[in-house]
Amino acid sequence: MTPLAQILVQRIRATGPITLADYMEICLLHPRLGYYTTRDPFGTRGDFTTAPEITQIFGELCGLALAQAWMDQGRPEPFTLAEPGPGRGTLMADMLRAMGAVPGMTQAARVTLVEASPHLRQVQRDRLGDVSHVDHVEALPRQPLFLIANEFFDALPIRQFQRVENGWAERVVGLGQDGLCLGLAPPVDLPRRGQLGDIVEDCPAAPAIIAQIAHRIAAHGGAAIVIDYGGWNGCGDTFQAVRAHRAEHPLASPGEADLTAHVDFAPLAVAAMRSGAMVSRPVPQGDWLLSLGAAARAERLARAGDTGAKEAVRRLTDPSEMGHLFKAMAIWPHGAPPVPGFDALRLHADNA
Ligand code: SAH
């Protein structure tokens, strides 16, 4: 049993089963033993690899898309350049280098990172130098906001409900003979349709965070790009654990595996609209990167001797790899041009 599993067993024994959201939050962010609190999980020797760790092209194109939005909106100065969940700081470093080609932009940027892990904060400072950190998106300054988030929303705690005879029963973590096990809480009413056995997921933090971001963009200008795996009105069990690049049961090694769930972009889009901003539909990552010239950039890097560039772009864009499962969605203010590569989403009133 991992040290964190022992703590969870004691807590459940004392006060009863916990929701998946509590379980996820403790496993990822426990102050001493949490997954992100204690380690740098990225890269081939870590547990998983993210797009910016695969090629610099990813961050460069994200940076240039935000740079175009900044120019389109009259080069506001100063502005917040924010990233929630920046990992090793690679994406921000690549964005800043690309933005350096735009006169005045990096000078006007106040880089602010939203990071819960003290360990990763230090990794980010070592990489990026003088940046500020805040605990929550709520703490971002009220000024023009240009924001990128890659694989941040999938780490936010989710709840799951399973359709049973007389309602929806929340899936909880309790104790069985061999330690932690999944169970069902007494059913409640939910305003959702579903067939017996169906599982639905809810990530209450995600639309709340999007609302904070979209409010700032609507009031002060700016743009946000959110990239993650997931879909639209997602349904089913997507709760997953990954350790050393392999999937394992989410209860197998608390604190030592990455826990995530697919991102449902529909409630995020609704939250952005309700906050008064424009939002795009989620575009497959492959389509978005190729529309911004990823292939031409790989070609240039290959000519300059980067032997891995073309293969890296293939990994990010091929539908059978990361190109289709990952989606990109953008937020921008009414009256401003869309962020490059995105079109405005129009929802029927009954959806919004
Ligand atoms: N964007 C990076 C890393 C993604 S991993 C990349 O693409 O490589 C998720 C990141 O979010 C980590 O930096 C993790 O510490 C951070 N994180 C997870 N939950 C968080 C929370 N609730 N608040 C702030 N940061 C969080």
Spatial neighbors of 88 by CB under 8 A, at least 6 apart, are: 40, 42, 53, 120, 123, 124, 127
- 196 C-alpha to ligand 1 centroid (Å): 35
Q: Is the CB of 87 under 6 A from ligand 1?
A: yes
List C-alpha distances in Å: 114 to 87, 136, 170.
10, 6, 30
- 349 C-alpha to ligand 1 centroid (Å): 33
35 three-class SS: helix
């560039």: which residue's tokens?
A: 309
- 205 C-alpha to ligand 1 centroid (Å): 14
For residue range 61-117, what is the model confidence (pLDDT) as tens digits?
999 999 999 999 999 999 999 999 999 999 999 999 999 999 999 999 999 999 999
pTM of the complete model? 0.97
- 306 C-alpha to ligand 1 centroid (Å): 28
At 22, is the pLDDT very low, low, confident or very high (cuts 50, 70, 90)?
very high
Q: Is the CB of 152 under 6 A from ligand 1?
A: yes
Give residue 352's identity as a one-letter amino acid code: A
Atom 17 in ligand 1: which residue has the minimum CA distance?
A: 85
Return the domain boundaries, the chain: 3-351
b (16+ CB within 10 A) / e for 297-319: bbeebeeeeeeebeebbbbbbee
- The closest-lying atom of ligand 1 relative to the alpha carbon of residue 88 is 8
For residue range 189-235, what is the model confidence (pLDDT) as tens digits?
998 889 999 999 999 999 999 999 999 999 999 999 999 999 998 77
- 300 C-alpha to ligand 1 centroid (Å): 31
Percentage of residues in the chain having pLDDT higher than 70: 99
To the question of domain 3-351 being in CATH 3.40.30.10, the answer is: no
